[in-house]
Amino acid sequence: MDLEDSPEEARFRKSVRAFLDANATRRDESAEPARYYEVDEAKLGLARAWQRKKAAAGFAGIRWPKQWGGQGLSSIHEVIYQQEEARYAVPKGVFDIGLGMCIPTLLAYADDAHLERYTKPALWGDEIWCQMFSEPNAGSDLAGLTTRAVRDGADWILDGQKTWTSGAQFSDFGIVLARTDFGAPKHKGLTMFFIDMKAPGVEVRPIHQMSGASHFNEVFLSGVRVPDAQRLGEVSDGWRVAVTTLMNERLAVGEEARPDIEDIHAFLTQSDGGKAPPMAEQAVRFRFADWYVASKGVEAFRNRGLTKLSRGEMPGPELSVARIVNAEKLQQMSRYAVEMMGAGGLLLDRDNPQANNPFQLALLAAPGARIAGGTSEILRNIIAERVLGLPADTRADKDVPFREIARGAGKSPRKGETV
Amino acid sequence: MDLEDSPEEARFRKSVRAFLDANATRRDESAEPARYYEVDEAKLGLARAWQRKKAAAGFAGIRWPKQWGGQGLSSIHEVIYQQEEARYAVPKGVFDIGLGMCIPTLLAYADDAHLERYTKPALWGDEIWCQMFSEPNAGSDLAGLTTRAVRDGADWILDGQKTWTSGAQFSDFGIVLARTDFGAPKHKGLTMFFIDMKAPGVEVRPIHQMSGASHFNEVFLSGVRVPDAQRLGEVSDGWRVAVTTLMNERLAVGEEARPDIEDIHAFLTQSDGGKAPPMAEQAVRFRFADWYVASKGVEAFRNRGLTKLSRGEMPGPELSVARIVNAEKLQQMSRYAVEMMGAGGLLLDRDNPQANNPFQLALLAAPGARIAGGTSEILRNIIAERVLGLPADTRADKDVPFREIARGAGKSPRKGETV
Amino acid sequence: MNLEFSEEARAIGDQARRFLEKRDCRERARAALSGEAEPDVELWREMVAFGWIGSFIPEEYGGNGAGYEALCVIAEEIGRSLAPVPFASNILAGEIILRSGTQEQKSYWLPKIASGEMIGTLALHEAPGRISADAITLRYENGRLTGRKCPVPDGAQADFAVVVARDPDGSIVPVLAFFDETVTRTRQPTIDDSRAQAELHFDGTPGERLGSGGSGAWAELVAALDRAAVILAFEEVGGAQACLDLAVEYAKTRHAFGRPIGANQAIKHKLANVYVAVELARSNAMMGALGLLSEQGDLAVAAATARVSAIQAFIMASSESIQTHGGIGFTWEADTNLFYRRANALALGLGTESYWKERLVSGLEQRHLA
Amino acid sequence: MNLEFSEEARAIGDQARRFLEKRDCRERARAALSGEAEPDVELWREMVAFGWIGSFIPEEYGGNGAGYEALCVIAEEIGRSLAPVPFASNILAGEIILRSGTQEQKSYWLPKIASGEMIGTLALHEAPGRISADAITLRYENGRLTGRKCPVPDGAQADFAVVVARDPDGSIVPVLAFFDETVTRTRQPTIDDSRAQAELHFDGTPGERLGSGGSGAWAELVAALDRAAVILAFEEVGGAQACLDLAVEYAKTRHAFGRPIGANQAIKHKLANVYVAVELARSNAMMGALGLLSEQGDLAVAAATARVSAIQAFIMASSESIQTHGGIGFTWEADTNLFYRRANALALGLGTESYWKERLVSGLEQRHLA
């Protein structure tokens, strides 16, 4: 029992470190936790340049087959690379969905001609991909989506609205799940396509979040013409294709939630003008200990998952567990820290000495953490059903033609909408 | 806005106090919180004597019609009597179910001959009643009961097993809900009876609880012969009769959970050998404040319910709310107190100076408080559906003949049972 | 037993609700949040014109004498509506002047609050941390104030403040001061910009000591906070109830898996828990109101109980309302976003949960000593 | 990355599980609970004979040298099975002798534990409250012990103890003592009588100072508690897992409203939460085991993390397992009753959650100072 790499893993990690040391600078881990910023043209340029460097050095497409420019390595290598890269100040996030989810879906379902065309530009940072699954009325119930794809000769015409699409505003291509048969039960009438995001009829609008960030988008599809050749998988087999795509998400074992335990520790142990730090109080010590235990538990649980991965086994529910625990912890910690600042906790300005910490921002981001990527309720259902083997919820929409399923958007408190 | 009685209520309260002062002694409220003891013959005798006194003085059957020996007063008078009586050291509990639930059911459904026969002996403490609804496989889903009543000439023959029956061991009569039609949907095939608990075929066995108490029983009914005249309500209309019975339970607004906030306050403020009391710690103060707020909130919520009652309106969800909050608080408080005693918290002996407090016993009773009288889950469902108007759970057993409904007793961890 | 507001008070509540609904306050709050508008002084003046705010001010000082019951129900409606008005600031300033001011001061300042002629506030906070006398460093010397206060509710719009200062002897002294040109005021971005907060620099600002002096100034301030806490608790209860109502309505109408999401126990039990929290908070607030009405000295425990309960309920209700709404709930344009901000801002603005828990327990200790 | 027990250790765990299942330990625990049997010394001797308990004892002192990995998996199986055996008491006595004893003491006492010839325990607690040196008043003078200890795990059955005493200088000193006729032992009723506790009166009992003396005796004791805490955490994880397994099985088979109760989200999400707690506890325990194995000085934080996590998980799993079972779950004859008692007893017996949280945070502080 140990936390060490296997000899082969250690060799790989060493080569990763050598590459990173030569090409990037270490991140100051105590500084500036995760910010909620927008990607602009300059940042996009930096991200492309970094991706190009990785590709040139053989650290892109780690799990992809060599035939398409990948490294033909395993998931544990991908994780090792991510672990190491996380310690450096390099652009993150722009290519994750394309390289981690979209192209792997193409690798499973597209023909060689398309792979020839699309894999290299993606790998070298020249083209960016996004993923369009969720809709305003199909979130937790993804298979309830209503974006329509209608056959028109050799093409399909897509109409509908997608939402929560990361990176849509700067993407070149995207995979999109649409309904091709409204008469079939809901999982049976879906088909997967990839589309050109610059095609006529594609309109991208940012979503303004409570936290102030806008890293998600709505994508409106109005009569978008897509050649049948851009279909991925069989007609009506789109759900199975989507599951392939989503399975790849489970690898994101290193997903980091900030501020986390180190940040609250730093906050609670700083003393202000000769006063004892908050951690001198037993109430604070006990509360902190709860979060510490949860935080270390998630970390060790991930390490048990990595042990499996390292042995070539499938990852388990590590990601669901981490998300449930971290989202709750984030909300608790940010509220606790802000509460401790008293009225000073109201202030949001980063330049104000009373507000020089990340917890106010986290307070506004925390509710999203319980929802994005699967609500805590959905994640608990997944654990109950897939891990514990408890019965599935009774489904009113099972085996019913989709068009007969009761649907309702919900009376929404959203600006300008009439309900 | 005030917490005072109306003039009429004040007059009644005064007369109650005069009666109690003349016939009972005040309870030392700081002493001995709720114990979990058995009723023996001697205690039963004291209870009968006290009931007789109440009846003689006109404080029994407060809400019953005058025709049957009652006082013809309203629910608020019943509550006022209970509030006052709670402050005196008098026998409690033996007659509550009979006078509060069983006889009121007879009053609604029995004929005058039966009422002539049964009301007075119940009121004067000569006969005791119990209520037999729950079964081993019909708890939360009460209407799923399988005790069978089969017509046999002018009689019915009852077979089955009831459980969680308070007072069955010393009861003379009991009301019992049985299934008379296994072909009807589950709520539609039930019929209510009352039976003689000394009749052949009735066997009572105590249930030993985790807390050590045995105030519940199992009742086995084997070929118990019941005249049709002892049917309450129409054949197959038993569910509606049962709802009448259960509605009367909602009046128990004064239900007291001990140890409660006063007890934990006393525990936390006692100082031991010159040391500062636990309440000197901020961690303890904050935790206590949470319980205090919950406790006072429940008390004030009850007072709002009493305001309604005082105005002749129906009581609301006061009892469900109080049960949810109190059960959780009991579990938290007892664990907190025991934890504070360290290894001394293990000790259960009342005569041991390290164990001179009620929290160890409460720790063992607390899990029952989240279940008895409706699990917290069922209570939340009631609030969600009846108060908030949210949709009912999807019911797999709706409109299905009872005999076709999937049933399973559950693989049970109980001694001696094979599963 | 009569733990319910009077018919008169409830009628005022209904009137306030109808008025605020017509004024579409959530839109106004959203506009204020996006920096498109300052706190809605015009709406405030309309509300004042109804006599609502002056209800706690005796008629001799320009109030309408409707009393605290009326003020409580109005606070609840303000909470429900999210009206972006300088409510808490005026209540705070008014309460402390009413309790601690001289006859002359009351006659001069209270009518200005009651009529809406001026907006008052309380300038209390300096450094981050729990409210305490030790944290007060702003100087009051020779009739002039020098130092910094931040955050001050509605500080950029108010006309005057009760400024909590320290005199050369080191005693705490509340000072009445107009915001003249010696006061530099900077609006501060906060987690809820629909209720403005400002940083104030006083540079020799003339001011008059509130009340007749003496050593009890801090205790009087704390007692005024107790009274204001009950009012604020009702504002929070109103907000929490609105969050619950939004979530219930959404859960009944939003479908997933072929049925309303409100048919899921995960949602049902979540909202049942919110209901319990809101009802306990409302009940505790009513006991606080009873304490206000009875004018007894021992309001601390009831006020603290009301306030802690209300903070917990509003925070929970606003969080779970977002969760019930799912993705749409945490967008900028969702009302749930506005309520979540307001819940957290109200929880921080007038003594935090910790402050009030400490007040609760020490209040009980004083009772046991007495 | 290899955060998993070795194949050898897992094989020992499987063997232990099969053996304990055959011995029907829950029935034995129930019998002990009802006062029908004392802690099962016979079962204990059988277990010792497998070499399981001696696994942490080096071969030179009669152990089998299988090591801590083996001990951890055995602890987990004991927790799962509820075996009413003097496990914790022997681990505690053994650990402190192993860490603090002289060569001679180790050679004399450890083989007796490893062979099951004698049952040892640690006599630590006196007054209620958190474990601390200040609470120790039992006197050790002229080689004799005088005073009271309560509760002492397995105190009525054990043959000897490490008794934590105070010498005339006021120093803490651990003393090795046989339970001879000078020791009056009274079994105490507890919340979990399937694991016996006793009150011990020492009246001039002869005893020998453990180790070579010096001022670090308390620190050494605390370090031994750290090591034992990791083992106990595995016992708790085993118990918690058993509670979850019972609840899941029941939820799949018990029907209400025409379907298994496990189809209700209220049950599903409750058990998902239990699963999360159990997996985090298991993960934290494994990090504790890694600390034990690495023999580094800084075990405090990892041990405390493991122990806090395990206490929380077992308490939660046992409570929610009862809740899932409904009425039947809180009857005397239900296994859930046994697990709930054990969870609470284990949570109190070797430093409570508060003790370990304090140990965790102060351990971090020392790390930051270093």
Residues of D in contact with C265 (CB under 8 A): 264-266, 269
Residues of A in contact with D305 (CB under 8 A): 292-293, 296-297
Contact check, Cβ <8 Å, A281/B283: yes
Domains recognised in chain B with CATH numbers: 7-94 (1.10.540.10), 130-248 (2.40.110.10), 254-372 (1.20.140.10)
pLDDT, tens digit, 9 for 90 and up, residues B133-178: 999 999 999 999 999 999 999 999 999 999 999 999 999 999 999 9
pLDDT of residue A415: 46
Amino acid at D82: L
Q: Delimit the domains of chain D by residue range.
A: 7-85, 120-209, 217-369
pLDDT, tens digit, 9 for 90 and up, residues D188-231: 889 999 988 999 999 999 999 999 877 899 999 999 999 999 99
pTM for this one? 0.96
pLDDT of residue A287: 96
Q: Residue A30 pLDDT more than 80?
A: no
Q: How far is A28 from A9, CA to CA, in rounded Å?
A: 26
Contact check, Cβ <8 Å, D266/C265: yes
Kindly state whether C132 is in contact with chain A, defined as any CB-CB distance less than 8 angstroms. Answer: no
CATH value of D7-85 in 3.30.10.20, 3.30.70.1710, 3.40.30.10, 1.10.540.10: 1.10.540.10
Q: How many Å lie between the alpha carbon of D84 and the closest alpha carbon of chain B?
A: 16
Contact check, Cβ <8 Å, B371/D333: no
pLDDT of residue A34: 42
Binding-face residues of A in 295-354 toward D, CB within 8 A: 296-301, 303-304, 306-307, 309-310, 321, 324-325
Kindly state whether A364 is in contact with chain C, defined as any CB-CB distance less than 8 angstroms. Answer: yes
Q: Of A79-83, A133-137, A200-204, B404-408, where does mean pLDDT reach its minimum?
A: B404-408
Q: Residue A98 pLDDT more than 90?
A: yes
Longest CA span, chain B: 77
Alpha helices for chain C (secondary structure H): 7-22, 25-33, 41-49, 68-81, 87-100, 103-115, 217-253, 265-294, 300-325, 335-349, 353-369
Q: What are the distances in angstroms from CA A344 to CA A34, A331, B385?
A: 22, 18, 41
C-beta of residue C360 within 8 angstroms of C-beta of residue B292: yes
pLDDT, tens digit, 9 for 90 and up, residues B254-306: 556 678 999 999 999 988 777 899 999 999 999 999 999 999 999 999 999 99
Binding-face residues of D in 295-314 toward A, CB within 8 A: 304-305, 308-309, 312
Contact check, Cβ <8 Å, B380/C269: yes
Kindly state whether C316 is in contact with chain A, defined as any CB-CB distance less than 8 angstroms. Answer: no
Q: How far is C266 from C258, CA to CA, in rounded Å?
A: 16
Contact check, Cβ <8 Å, A282/B286: no
pLDDT, tens digit, 9 for 90 and up, residues A249-285: 756 545 566 789 999 999 999 887 778 999 999 999 9
Contact check, Cβ <8 Å, D354/B339: yes
Q: Residue B32 pLDDT more than 60?
A: no
Domain C120-209 falls in which CATH fold? Butyryl-CoA Dehydrogenase, subunit A; domain 2 (2.40.110)
C-beta of residue C303 within 8 angstroms of C-beta of residue C342: no
Contact check, Cβ <8 Å, B281/A286: no
Phi and psi dihedrals of B108, rounded to 5? -80, -30
Cβ-count burial B363-400 (b if 16+ within 10 Å, e if not): bbbbbbbbbbbbbbbbbbbbbbbebbebbebbeebeee
pLDDT of residue C215: 81
Q: Coil, strand, or helix at residue A227?
A: strand
Average pLDDT, chain A: 90
Kindly state whether D269 is in contact with chain C, defined as any CB-CB distance less than 8 angstroms. Answer: yes
C-beta of residue A210 within 8 angstroms of C-beta of residue C318: no
Number of H helices, E strands in chain D: 11, 10
The residue length of chain C stands at 370
Q: How far is C285 from C281, CA to CA, in rounded Å?
A: 6
For an interface test with C, give the residue of A140, A161, A210, A335 to mutate (most C CBs within 10 A): A210
Least CA distance to B388: which residue of chain C? Answer: C248
Least CA distance to B406: which residue of chain D? Answer: D258
Q: Coil, strand, or helix at residue B355?
A: helix
pLDDT of residue B417: 42
Least CA distance to A135: which residue of chain C? Answer: C327
Binding-face residues of B in 126-145 toward C, CB within 8 A: none
Contact check, Cβ <8 Å, B306/C3: yes
pLDDT of residue B31: 54
Size of interface B-D (CB pairs under 8 A): 188
Residue D73: both structure tokens together: 């998996």
Kindly state whether C265 is in contact with chain D, defined as any CB-CB distance less than 8 angstroms. Answer: yes
Contact check, Cβ <8 Å, D269/C266: yes
C-beta of residue D158 within 8 angstroms of C-beta of residue D119: yes
C-beta of residue A179 within 8 angstroms of C-beta of residue A145: yes
pLDDT of residue C31: 87
For an interface test with B, give the residue of A290, A339, A394, A395 to mutate (most B CBs within 10 A): A394
Superfamily (CATH H level) for D217-369:
Butyryl-CoA Dehydrogenase, subunit A, domain 3 (1.20.140.10)
Residue found by looking up tokens 């107009």 in the block: C178
Residue found by looking up tokens 């046989």 in the block: D178
pLDDT of residue D65: 83
Least CA distance to D263: which residue of chain C? Answer: C265
Contact check, Cβ <8 Å, B391/C312: no
Residues of A in contact with D368 (CB under 8 A): 269
Of the pLDDT bands very low, low, confident and very high (cuts 50, 70, 90), residue B408 is confident
pLDDT of residue A315: 81
Cβ neighbourhood burial of B26 (10 Å; 0-12, 13-18, 19+): exposed
Strand partners, A72: none
Touching partners of B (3+ C-beta pairs < 8 Å): A, C, D
So which residues of A are the catalytic ones?
249
pLDDT, tens digit, 9 for 90 and up, residues B199-244: 999 999 999 998 888 889 999 999 999 999 999 999 999 999 999 8
Least CA distance to B302: which residue of chain C? Answer: C283
Of the pLDDT bands very low, low, confident and very high (cuts 50, 70, 90), residue B416 is very low
Residues of B in contact with D322 (CB under 8 A): 367, 371
Annotated catalytic residue: which of B9, B218, B249, B328?
A: B249
- The mean pLDDT value for B88-104 works out to 92
Number of H helices, E strands in chain B: 12, 8
Q: How far is B339 from B354, CA to CA, in rounded Å?
A: 13
Q: What are the distances in angstroms from CA D61 to CA D103, D160, D162?
A: 10, 17, 18
Q: Of A11-15, B57-61, C210-214, where does mean pLDDT reach its minimum?
A: C210-214
Q: What are the distances in angstroms from CA A33 to CA A57, C301, C330, D350?
A: 28, 40, 21, 39
Q: Residue D317 pLDDT more than 70?
A: yes
- The mean pLDDT value for D252-279 works out to 96
Least CA distance to C262: which residue of chain A? Answer: A410
Q: How far is C314 from C74, CA to CA, in rounded Å?
A: 17
Kindly state whether C266 is in contact with chain D, defined as any CB-CB distance less than 8 angstroms. Answer: yes
Q: How far is B156 from B147, CA to CA, in rounded Å?
A: 12
Q: Residue B34 pLDDT more than 70?
A: no
Binding-face residues of B in 244-303 toward A, CB within 8 A: 281-283, 285-286
Least CA distance to B6: which residue of chain C? Answer: C1
pLDDT, tens digit, 9 for 90 and up, residues B239-249: 999 998 888 77
With a CB cutoff of 8 Å and minimum separation 6, the contacts of B72 are B63, B64, B65, B66
pLDDT, tens digit, 9 for 90 and up, residues D130-155: 999 999 999 999 999 999 999 999 99
Residues of A in contact with C344 (CB under 8 A): 335, 338, 363
pLDDT of residue D33: 83
Residue A397: both structure tokens together: 């929409």
Q: Residue B7 pLDDT more than 80?
A: yes
User: Residue A381: in which H helix or E strand, if any?
Assistant: helix A376-382
Kindly state whether D256 is in contact with chain C, defined as any CB-CB distance less than 8 angstroms. Answer: no
Of the pLDDT bands very low, low, confident and very high (cuts 50, 70, 90), residue A33 is very low
Contact check, Cβ <8 Å, D286/A304: yes
Q: How many Å lie between the alpha carbon of D369 and the closest alpha carbon of chain C?
A: 26
For an interface test with D, give the residue of C257, C259, C261, C264 to mutate (most D CBs within 10 A): C264
Strand partners, C255: C260
Kindly state whether C358 is in contact with chain A, defined as any CB-CB distance less than 8 angstroms. Answer: no
Q: Residue B253 pLDDT more than 50?
A: no
Binding-face residues of D in 29-88 toward B, CB within 8 A: 30
Q: How many Å lie between the alpha carbon of B54 and the closest alpha carbon of chain C?
A: 25
Least CA distance to C28: which residue of chain A? Answer: A415
Least CA distance to A397: which residue of chain C? Answer: C258
Q: How far is B302 from C184, CA to CA, in rounded Å?
A: 51
Ranges of chain C with pLDDT below 70: 36-37, 297, 370
Q: Coil, strand, or helix at residue D198?
A: strand
For strand D120-123 and strand D160-166, is the pairing parallel, antiparallel, or unpaired? parallel
Kindly state whether D266 is in contact with chain C, defined as any CB-CB distance less than 8 angstroms. Answer: yes
C-beta of residue B338 within 8 angstroms of C-beta of residue D174: no
Binding-face residues of A in 62-81 toward D, CB within 8 A: 76
Closest residue to B283, CB basis, from A283, A394, A396: A283
- The mean pLDDT value for A55-74 works out to 96
Of the pLDDT bands very low, low, confident and very high (cuts 50, 70, 90), residue B350 is low
Contact check, Cβ <8 Å, B137/D337: no
Q: Residue B391 pLDDT more than 90?
A: yes
